[in-house]
Amino acid sequence: MQRLTTSSRKEARPMSKNKYMTKYQLEHLKKRVSAEIDPIIEEAKLMRKSVVAELTASAEGKLAKKIKADTVIKDLEKAFKNLEAAQRKAKTFFTKGVNAEMKKDLNHRFDAYDHRDRYSGVGLKPEDCREQLRSWAETLAIKEAEKTPEGKKVKDLELYKASAINQVFETGLPSELPKTLEAIFKPLGIIWDKKEALQIENK
């Protein structure tokens, strides 16, 4: 039996007409897919963000009552109002209710005190509680927003993007890819073949 030489073995291998894509080509296509669809996704996210803001405002009040946070915050606000009144009284006493000799040794904090500093260094403030409540409400609102048309659109677009990128990596032959991507992007009104897009614009 005749043995194949190195050169004859090379000749015996069938050569494909299409070359497989390089890593550079794959990354380039991945970036192009993102460039095509990301602006549409960002636009959809802005619409969803508006819905989330509305739902958050609504959910915040309901959540506060449900977990009785509104009562806790009111009690804290009342305590801070009492503290502010006591602080003003203390400042008046120590800055105006003493003689000139005592004023000479008055701590600078009494002169520097401002009503805007009344909450400094006193632990949790009403604003901290409201901020936490808003954060919880926003988390709930985001989940609810996913059920709205705006939320579903974002999810669908992200699936389109993931599908397109998967096709880039799963389709080994470059010649097969344009038709596949054209079919994926067609429902979004995106023309993958830019030469075709220019022809349509110039008509």
Closest CA to 41 of 185, 179, 138: 185
Question: What does the DSSP assignment read for 53-115?
Answer: HHHHHHHHHHHHHHTTHHHHHHHHHHHHHHHHHHHHHHHHHHHHSS-HHHHHT--HHHHH--G
What's the pTM? 0.57
Over its length of 203 residues, how does the chain's per-residue pLDDT go in tens digits? 444 444 444 444 443 444 667 778 778 888 888 888 899 999 999 999 999 999 998 899 899 999 999 999 999 999 988 988 888 888 777 777 666 666 666 666 666 655 555 555 566 788 889 999 999 999 999 999 989 999 999 998 898 888 888 877 776 666 777 777 787 778 777 777 655 544 444 44
CB 9 within 8 A of CB 2: no
Closest CA to 119 of 156, 62, 80: 80
> Residue 63 and residue 77: Cα distance in Å, rounded?
19
